[in-house]
Structure 1
Amino acid sequence: MPILIFVIFATVQAALLFLGNQAASAAAREAARVARTNGGSAAIGMAEARGRAYASQVGSGVIEDVSVQVAAVGNDEVRAVVTGKGVQVVPGIPGIRIRQVVQGPIEEFRPDL
Protein backbone atom coordinates (compact mmCIF):
# COMPACT_ATOMS: atom_id res chain seq x y z
CA MET A 1 0.00 0.00 0.00
CA PRO A 2 2.74 2.58 0.78
CA ILE A 3 4.34 1.94 -2.60
CA LEU A 4 1.02 2.51 -4.34
CA ILE A 5 0.50 5.81 -2.51
CA PHE A 6 4.03 6.91 -3.41
CA VAL A 7 3.41 6.08 -7.08
CA ILE A 8 0.19 8.11 -7.03
CA PHE A 9 1.94 11.11 -5.48
CA ALA A 10 4.85 10.77 -7.92
CA THR A 11 2.37 10.76 -10.83
CA VAL A 12 0.72 13.93 -9.50
CA GLN A 13 4.19 15.49 -9.08
CA ALA A 14 5.07 14.67 -12.70
CA ALA A 15 1.78 16.14 -13.94
CA LEU A 16 2.35 19.37 -11.99
CA LEU A 17 5.91 19.56 -13.33
CA PHE A 18 4.54 19.24 -16.88
CA LEU A 19 2.01 22.01 -16.21
CA GLY A 20 4.75 24.18 -14.70
CA ASN A 21 6.86 23.73 -17.83
CA GLN A 22 3.88 24.71 -19.99
CA ALA A 23 3.20 27.81 -17.86
CA ALA A 24 6.86 28.86 -18.02
CA SER A 25 6.90 28.33 -21.78
CA ALA A 26 3.75 30.43 -22.22
CA ALA A 27 5.22 33.23 -20.06
CA ALA A 28 8.46 33.17 -22.07
CA ARG A 29 6.52 33.35 -25.35
CA GLU A 30 4.47 36.28 -24.03
CA ALA A 31 7.55 38.18 -22.82
CA ALA A 32 9.31 37.59 -26.13
CA ARG A 33 6.20 38.67 -28.05
CA VAL A 34 6.02 41.97 -26.16
CA ALA A 35 9.73 42.65 -26.73
CA ARG A 36 9.58 41.65 -30.41
CA THR A 37 6.56 43.77 -31.27
CA ASN A 38 7.54 46.86 -29.27
CA GLY A 39 10.99 47.53 -30.64
CA GLY A 40 13.32 45.02 -29.01
CA SER A 41 15.75 46.48 -26.47
CA ALA A 42 13.57 49.54 -25.89
CA ALA A 43 10.80 47.34 -24.48
CA ILE A 44 12.82 44.96 -22.29
CA GLY A 45 11.44 46.28 -18.98
CA MET A 46 7.88 46.15 -20.26
CA ALA A 47 8.43 42.61 -21.61
CA GLU A 48 9.85 41.35 -18.30
CA ALA A 49 6.92 42.84 -16.36
CA ARG A 50 4.41 41.28 -18.78
CA GLY A 51 6.18 37.90 -18.52
CA ARG A 52 6.01 37.97 -14.70
CA ALA A 53 2.34 38.97 -14.77
CA TYR A 54 1.53 36.26 -17.29
CA ALA A 55 3.41 33.64 -15.25
CA SER A 56 1.48 34.58 -12.12
CA GLN A 57 -1.82 34.28 -14.00
CA VAL A 58 -1.16 31.09 -15.94
CA GLY A 59 1.27 29.43 -13.53
CA SER A 60 -0.62 30.03 -10.32
CA GLY A 61 -0.24 26.88 -8.23
CA VAL A 62 2.16 25.06 -10.58
CA ILE A 63 5.29 27.24 -10.63
CA GLU A 64 6.90 29.27 -7.84
CA ASP A 65 9.76 31.78 -7.55
CA VAL A 66 9.38 32.92 -11.15
CA SER A 67 12.16 34.97 -12.72
CA VAL A 68 11.84 36.54 -16.17
CA GLN A 69 14.86 37.89 -18.05
CA VAL A 70 14.63 39.46 -21.50
CA ALA A 71 17.75 40.48 -23.40
CA ALA A 72 18.66 41.65 -26.87
CA VAL A 73 20.64 39.18 -28.95
CA GLY A 74 22.58 41.13 -31.51
CA ASN A 75 20.76 43.94 -33.25
CA ASP A 76 17.77 42.04 -34.54
CA GLU A 77 16.68 39.39 -32.00
CA VAL A 78 15.47 39.12 -28.41
CA ARG A 79 15.62 36.22 -25.97
CA ALA A 80 13.25 35.63 -23.05
CA VAL A 81 14.25 33.23 -20.27
CA VAL A 82 11.74 32.18 -17.60
CA THR A 83 12.94 30.16 -14.63
CA GLY A 84 11.06 28.94 -11.60
CA LYS A 85 10.58 26.04 -9.25
CA GLY A 86 7.99 23.33 -9.69
CA VAL A 87 5.55 22.69 -6.87
CA GLN A 88 6.58 20.04 -4.33
CA VAL A 89 3.97 17.34 -3.73
CA VAL A 90 6.00 14.35 -2.55
CA PRO A 91 7.59 15.08 0.85
CA GLY A 92 11.37 14.82 0.74
CA ILE A 93 11.60 15.41 -3.01
CA PRO A 94 12.34 19.10 -3.62
CA GLY A 95 10.64 21.04 -6.39
CA ILE A 96 12.47 20.72 -9.68
CA ARG A 97 13.87 23.84 -11.40
CA ILE A 98 12.04 24.81 -14.55
CA ARG A 99 13.67 26.83 -17.35
CA GLN A 100 12.17 27.85 -20.67
CA VAL A 101 13.85 29.95 -23.37
CA VAL A 102 12.25 31.69 -26.36
CA GLN A 103 14.20 33.65 -28.96
CA GLY A 104 12.95 35.42 -32.06
CA PRO A 105 13.52 38.30 -34.46
CA ILE A 106 12.40 41.84 -33.70
CA GLU A 107 9.51 42.77 -35.92
CA GLU A 108 9.96 45.79 -38.14
CA PHE A 109 7.72 47.55 -40.60
CA ARG A 110 8.87 47.57 -44.18
CA PRO A 111 6.73 49.66 -46.53
CA ASP A 112 5.78 48.43 -49.97
CA LEU A 113 8.05 49.59 -52.73
Structure 2
Amino acid sequence: MKISGWARKRKRNERGASTVELVLYMPILMLAIFITIQFSLIYLGNQAASAAARETARVARTTLDRGQAETAGLEYTNRIGKGILEDVQVVVTPVGTQQVRVVVTGHAQKITPFVDPPTVTQVVQGPLEEFRADN
Protein backbone atom coordinates (compact mmCIF):
# COMPACT_ATOMS: atom_id res chain seq x y z
CA MET A 1 0.00 0.00 0.00
CA LYS A 2 1.43 3.31 -1.06
CA ILE A 3 1.21 6.32 1.28
CA SER A 4 -0.05 9.37 -0.49
CA GLY A 5 1.76 12.67 -0.43
CA TRP A 6 -0.90 14.18 1.82
CA ALA A 7 -0.29 11.53 4.54
CA ARG A 8 3.44 12.16 4.43
CA LYS A 9 2.91 15.89 4.85
CA ARG A 10 0.47 15.23 7.68
CA LYS A 11 3.07 13.16 9.49
CA ARG A 12 5.72 15.85 9.11
CA ASN A 13 3.33 18.55 10.39
CA GLU A 14 2.99 16.87 13.81
CA ARG A 15 6.28 18.37 14.89
CA GLY A 16 5.72 20.61 17.91
CA ALA A 17 2.52 18.82 18.93
CA SER A 18 3.99 17.87 22.31
CA THR A 19 4.80 21.53 22.94
CA VAL A 20 1.21 22.51 22.27
CA GLU A 21 -0.01 19.70 24.54
CA LEU A 22 2.33 20.89 27.28
CA VAL A 23 1.01 24.44 26.95
CA LEU A 24 -2.54 23.15 27.22
CA TYR A 25 -1.99 20.76 30.15
CA MET A 26 0.46 22.82 32.24
CA PRO A 27 -2.19 25.12 33.80
CA ILE A 28 -4.23 22.08 34.84
CA LEU A 29 -1.13 20.45 36.33
CA MET A 30 -0.19 23.64 38.20
CA LEU A 31 -3.74 23.98 39.55
CA ALA A 32 -3.64 20.39 40.80
CA ILE A 33 -0.31 21.06 42.53
CA PHE A 34 -1.62 24.26 44.18
CA ILE A 35 -4.77 22.50 45.39
CA THR A 36 -2.71 19.64 46.84
CA ILE A 37 -0.39 22.04 48.66
CA GLN A 38 -3.33 24.09 50.00
CA PHE A 39 -5.07 21.01 51.39
CA SER A 40 -1.79 19.93 52.97
CA LEU A 41 -1.49 23.32 54.68
CA ILE A 42 -5.08 23.05 55.93
CA TYR A 43 -4.32 19.58 57.32
CA LEU A 44 -1.18 20.90 59.02
CA GLY A 45 -3.16 23.83 60.48
CA ASN A 46 -5.75 21.37 61.80
CA GLN A 47 -3.02 19.36 63.50
CA ALA A 48 -1.53 22.47 65.12
CA ALA A 49 -4.98 23.61 66.32
CA SER A 50 -5.70 20.13 67.69
CA ALA A 51 -2.44 20.04 69.63
CA ALA A 52 -3.08 23.54 71.02
CA ALA A 53 -6.63 22.57 72.05
CA ARG A 54 -5.37 19.46 73.86
CA GLU A 55 -2.69 21.44 75.68
CA THR A 56 -5.15 24.18 76.64
CA ALA A 57 -7.63 21.58 77.91
CA ARG A 58 -4.89 19.91 79.97
CA VAL A 59 -4.02 23.22 81.64
CA ALA A 60 -7.69 24.11 82.17
CA ARG A 61 -8.51 20.70 83.65
CA THR A 62 -5.62 20.70 86.10
CA THR A 63 -5.42 24.35 87.18
CA LEU A 64 -9.14 25.19 86.99
CA ASP A 65 -8.08 28.68 85.83
CA ARG A 66 -9.67 29.81 82.58
CA GLY A 67 -7.36 32.80 81.98
CA GLN A 68 -4.22 30.79 82.62
CA ALA A 69 -5.44 28.06 80.26
CA GLU A 70 -6.20 30.52 77.44
CA THR A 71 -2.78 32.15 77.88
CA ALA A 72 -1.09 28.75 77.84
CA GLY A 73 -2.98 27.81 74.67
CA LEU A 74 -1.97 30.99 72.86
CA GLU A 75 1.67 30.56 73.91
CA TYR A 76 1.63 26.94 72.79
CA THR A 77 0.11 27.92 69.45
CA ASN A 78 2.77 30.60 68.95
CA ARG A 79 5.48 27.99 69.57
CA ILE A 80 4.24 25.12 67.42
CA GLY A 81 1.95 26.88 64.96
CA LYS A 82 4.09 29.85 63.99
CA GLY A 83 3.63 30.33 60.26
CA ILE A 84 1.12 27.47 60.12
CA LEU A 85 -1.82 28.89 62.03
CA GLU A 86 -2.66 32.61 62.02
CA ASP A 87 -5.21 34.78 63.87
CA VAL A 88 -5.59 32.20 66.62
CA GLN A 89 -8.38 32.45 69.16
CA VAL A 90 -8.57 30.21 72.20
CA VAL A 91 -11.83 30.03 74.15
CA VAL A 92 -12.24 28.03 77.35
CA THR A 93 -15.78 27.51 78.65
CA PRO A 94 -17.02 25.39 81.54
CA VAL A 95 -19.62 22.75 80.69
CA GLY A 96 -21.67 22.22 83.79
CA THR A 97 -19.64 21.83 86.95
CA GLN A 98 -17.56 18.83 85.98
CA GLN A 99 -16.23 19.50 82.46
CA VAL A 100 -14.45 22.10 80.38
CA ARG A 101 -14.59 22.76 76.62
CA VAL A 102 -11.77 24.34 74.64
CA VAL A 103 -12.26 25.76 71.14
CA VAL A 104 -9.21 26.78 69.11
CA THR A 105 -9.92 28.67 65.90
CA GLY A 106 -7.49 30.13 63.39
CA HIS A 107 -6.65 30.47 59.73
CA ALA A 108 -4.45 27.99 57.92
CA GLN A 109 -1.68 29.38 55.79
CA LYS A 110 -2.71 30.15 52.22
CA ILE A 111 -0.66 30.11 49.04
CA THR A 112 -2.89 32.16 46.76
CA PRO A 113 -3.49 35.85 47.41
CA PHE A 114 -6.98 35.99 45.87
CA VAL A 115 -8.63 33.31 48.06
CA ASP A 116 -9.72 33.82 51.68
CA PRO A 117 -7.60 31.89 54.17
CA PRO A 118 -9.27 28.64 55.23
CA THR A 119 -10.63 28.59 58.79
CA VAL A 120 -9.54 25.78 61.08
CA THR A 121 -11.45 24.88 64.26
CA GLN A 122 -10.72 22.19 66.84
CA VAL A 123 -12.79 21.41 69.94
CA VAL A 124 -11.68 19.41 72.97
CA GLN A 125 -13.86 18.65 75.97
CA GLY A 126 -12.90 16.78 79.11
CA PRO A 127 -13.62 16.34 82.80
CA LEU A 128 -12.10 18.63 85.42
CA GLU A 129 -9.51 16.91 87.54
CA GLU A 130 -10.01 16.88 91.25
CA PHE A 131 -7.18 15.97 93.57
CA ARG A 132 -8.13 14.36 96.86
CA ALA A 133 -5.95 13.32 99.71
CA ASP A 134 -5.90 9.60 100.51
CA ASN A 135 -7.91 8.59 103.55
What's the TM-score once normalised by structure 1's chain length? Answer: 0.91
Instruction: Indicate which of 60, 74, 83 corresponds to 1:61.
Output: 83
Q: What does 1:61-100 correspond to in 2, within 5 Å?
A: 61-100=83-122
Q: Distance in 1 between matches of 2:129 and 2:45?
A: 29
Paired position in structure 1 for 2:37 = 12
What stretches of structure 2 of length at least 5 have no aligned partner? 1-25
Instruction: Indicate which of 24, 28, 34 corresponds to 1:3.
Output: 28
8 A contact 1:70–1:81 mirrored in 2: yes
Instruction: Indicate which of 29, 36, 39 corresponds to 2:61.
Output: 36
Structure 1 residue 112, shift from structure 2 partner: 3.6
Q: Distance in 2 between matches of 1:7 and 1:96?
A: 18
Moved more, 83-92 or 98-107: 83-92
Paired position in structure 1 for 2:20 = none
Q: Distance in 1 between matches of 2:44 and 2:82?
A: 10
Paired position in structure 1 for 2:48 = 23
Structure 1 ranges of 4+ moved more than 4 A: none
8 A contact 1:36–1:106 mirrored in 2: yes
Deviation sequence 1:14-62 (CA, Å, 0-9, x none): 1110000000000000010001011x2xx10000000011111111111
8 A contact 1:10–1:90 mirrored in 2: no
What is the RMSD computed on CA atoms of the aligned residues? 1.1
Deviation sequence 1:41-95 (CA, Å, 0-9, x none): xx10000000011111111111110000001111111111000011111343221
Number of aligned residue pairs: give it.
Answer: 110
Q: Distance in 1 between matches of 2:112 and 2:68?
A: 36
